[in-house]
Structure 1
Amino acid sequence: MVRVCRLYYYESWTQEKIAAQLGVSRPVISKMLQRARDEGIVEIVIHDDDHEVSKLEKELEQLFGLTQVLVVPTKDLNKELISSAVGKAAAQFVLKLIRNGDRVGVSWGNTLYHMVREFPLEKKENVKVIPLVGGTGNARNEMHSNQIAYELSKKLGVSCETLYAPAVVETEELKEQIIQLPNISSVLQEGEHIDVALVGIGNPYSMSTMERSGYLNEQVLAELKSLEVVADINSRFITRSGEVSSHPINRKVIGLPLEQLKQTKTVVGMAFGLHKIDCIIAALKGGYINMLITDEATAEQIVNIQQGTPRMSGRRGKNKGS
């Protein structure tokens, strides 16, 4: 089947010529090509240079001084299709970023989960994947940084580290004890020397991965809201202005600090859905990321807000991404 696909798509052979070469009928070749598409051996990608999307990307890059922005066209897609579309686009974007010899750090969350899920199998050399924040427990294991690191390393055919610790612990004293453990300390130190960071941007109050994982309760959420916290990156909370919050929970996180994250050459922030608008803006104001992946409707609203245009429901329909 692969041989037939190579002849048809790479060598531009006709189905009749391939059939003659293999000694079968043309309908056999046609069915084989269709089966290859159905089974995912062949994927058809249409590179549609959408002017509006390109304009949004450039506007976001200029407004926030970003190196690169990927806006995923999501017009008329439902929630499930948006998740898949963003995941596929993010996977291709990240694949091109990772070079042989890179150390790749990953945080956690829904967008990273969909990115890794859609990631193609493509072997890289001397690449290591490193979790940037702890993540253990039974709830939503597939979204934890350790699992994301493991799944990404499998797709790339490379090695990965594991951070055997929760994202947040009960006390600052316990955190200090844990990060001194050799197997924890070594992974955290590796995280300080990564080449590429892939981080989710979370909303603590809406479809929060941290809340669903049991790290946030109603009291903490109320306290965060009173401090104008609007987002979390690497399980650390930031305010509307982009500053790291003074809330004690930030001192109980086991993972790469945000100030250290800023020292990384390439930091890709990933978030989609209208409930992430304030989160993304805060992350951009704080300068924690220099590349952004988001969906079309969310990008449009962010540009409108920054340019002083009142929020609209979106000319492309509602977006309930996550």
Structure 2
Amino acid sequence: MAARVPGPRPDEERSPLAVVLDVLGADEQRRTRIAWLYYVEGLTQAEIAELLGISRVKVVRDLQICRQTGLVQIQINGRLAPCVALERVLVQRYGLTQAVVVPSPHDPAHLPATLGVAVGAWLSEKIGPGQTLGIGWGRTLHWSVRALRRREIPDLTVVSLLGGIGRGSEINMYETASRVAETLGAQCYYLAAPAYASSASLRDMLLEQAGLREVLERARRADIAVVSVGSLGPESTNRRIGLLDEEELPGLEAAGAVGDLLCTFLDAAGHPVDHPLNRRAVGLPVEDLRRVPTSVLASGGPEKVPIVKAALIGGYVNTLITDERTAEALAAG
């Protein structure tokens, strides 16, 4: 008969270290150790693999996961002179309070993440107790959450500036706002309605509802609003997720639209175009965005240049976060 191994007595307490290790889990323990050895102690990937008894491929994969999940956040304090020069040109040309220009990534696919890191770092320094933060949506703002410095900010309120979409998406309007609120320990308010109502009359009816009216009033009183813009090009997020019907594109182009800001389509001069979609949009009107003390537009890429320029000409925002190539195009006029 096999001997029975006695378990721990009920009065035996587990060590604090054992409890912590259980909570963290083996994967997070390993990744944290790898990140420390690589970024703090300066060991090579091969040295870490040998030290921990794992393959170098696993070390590389874990370091990538550390960066993607925000376990490791890299801050570079140096400023590139060309970016600083472009910031000054943009501030003067478009009457901005501030411009932040970051180097363009070699791979254009990494641009939303690059800008998202810049937005998260900027917002981490600006947001404070008792404020109201309005949040738009898009790939850049989705990535910005990972770069936010996680902490509890007393009496902070986060408000979604747009209605939502009817199906799940990693860049849903609601998801971005809720993740920002969770990261900063804030109370979150949503516009519980679709981004576009089925008709202008239904949109007006929705906005008369007490709940939505309250959220919009909070949005109008925001201290900081962070938004992005959408283009009409084939890579547009609106088109990719089906928020913008392909049949509506010819009418928008005929009306002179170059893209949208808060789901309101603008022409090259920054004016809302005369199109039914604009009368169906559920969100903070772009005219109200002008009145927010600190209104931030975070966007970049060749496809976005016309709509970013339109938003700047229209005076809807006073702060711009973009990349070097986009800034060069905007500075050239």
Please tell me whether residue 87 in structure 1 is matched to residue 116 in structure 2. Answer: yes
State the match for 1:125 in structure 2. Answer: 154
Q: Helix, strand or coil: the match of 1:166? A: coil
What is the alpha-carbon distance in structure 2 between the residues aligned to residue 43 and residue 283 of structure 1? 31
Please tell me whether residue 270 in structure 1 is matched to residue 298 in structure 2. Answer: yes
What is the alpha-carbon distance in structure 1 between the residues aligned to residue 133 and residue 34 of structure 2? 41
State the match for 2:244 in structure 1. Answer: 216
Are residues 41 and 118 of structure 1, via their aligned partners in 2, closer, same or farther at CA, if it must alter by over 3 Å?
Answer: closer
State the match for 1:74 in structure 2. Answer: 104
Are residues 147 and 33 of structure 1, via their aligned partners in 2, closer, same or farther at CA, if it must alter by over 3 Å?
Answer: closer
Amino acid across the alignment from 1:92: A
Shift of 1:36: 7.2
Please tell me whether residue 195 in structure 1 is matched to residue 217 in structure 2. Answer: no
Are residues 217 and 58 of structure 1, via their aligned partners in 2, closer, same or farther at CA, if it must alter by over 3 Å?
Answer: same
Q: Helix, strand or coil: the match of 2:303? A: helix
Shift of 1:31: 7.4
Amino acid across the alignment from 1:123: E
State the match for 2:321 in structure 1. Answer: 293
Percent of counterpart pairs with the same letter?
A: 32
State the match for 2:7 in structure 1. Answer: none
State the match for 1:149 in structure 2. Answer: 177
What is the alpha-carbon distance in structure 1 between the residues aligned to residue 115 and residue 320 of structure 2? 12
State the match for 2:275 in structure 1. Answer: 247
Q: Helix, strand or coil: the match of 2:316? A: coil
State the match for 1:107 in structure 2. Answer: 136
Scaled by the length of structure 2, what TM-score is found?
Answer: 0.77
State the match for 2:23 in structure 1. Answer: none
Amino acid across the alignment from 2:142: Y
- The answer to which of 238-247 and 108-117 deviates more is 108-117
What is the alpha-carbon distance in structure 1 between the residues aligned to residue 80 and residue 221 of structure 2? 37
State the match for 1:61 in structure 2. Answer: 91
Q: Helix, strand or coil: the match of 2:260? A: strand
State the match for 2:6 in structure 1. Answer: none
Shift of 1:189: 1.8
State the match for 1:18 in structure 2. Answer: none
Please tell me whether residue 236 in structure 1 is matched to residue 264 in structure 2. Answer: yes
8 A contact 2:301–2:326 mirrored in 1: yes
8 A contact 2:115–2:299 mirrored in 1: no
Backbone CA RMSD of aligned residues: 2.0
Shift of 1:228: 1.2
Shift of 1:43: 4.3
What is the alpha-carbon distance in structure 1 between the residues aligned to residue 264 and residue 72 of structure 2? 41
What is the alpha-carbon distance in structure 2 between the residues aligned to residue 264 and residue 168 of structure 1? 23
State the structure with more CA Rg: 2
Shift of 1:122: 2.4
Are residues 123 and 245 of structure 1, via their aligned partners in 2, closer, same or farther at CA, if it must alter by over 3 Å?
Answer: same
State the match for 1:169 in structure 2. Answer: 197
Please tell me whether residue 98 in structure 1 is matched to residue 123 in structure 2. Answer: no
What is the alpha-carbon distance in structure 2 between the residues aligned to residue 234 and residue 212 of structure 1? 17
What is the alpha-carbon distance in structure 2 between the residues aligned to residue 179 and residue 156 of structure 1? 28
Counterpart selection for 1:47 from 61, 71, 77: 77
Q: How many residues matched?
A: 274
Amino acid across the alignment from 1:70: V
- The 5-angstrom pairing of residues 300-315 of structure 1 reads 300-304=328-332, 306=333
* 5+ residue gaps, structure 2: 1-32, 41-62
Q: Helix, strand or coil: the match of 1:143? A: coil
8 A contact 1:202–1:231 mirrored in 2: yes
Shift of 1:42: 5.8
Amino acid across the alignment from 2:87: E
Amino acid across the alignment from 2:322: T
Counterpart selection for 1:281 from 306, 309, 315: 309
* Cα displacement string for residues 26-74 of structure 1 (whole angstroms, at most 9, x for unaligned residues): xxxx978316765566645231221111001111011101000111112
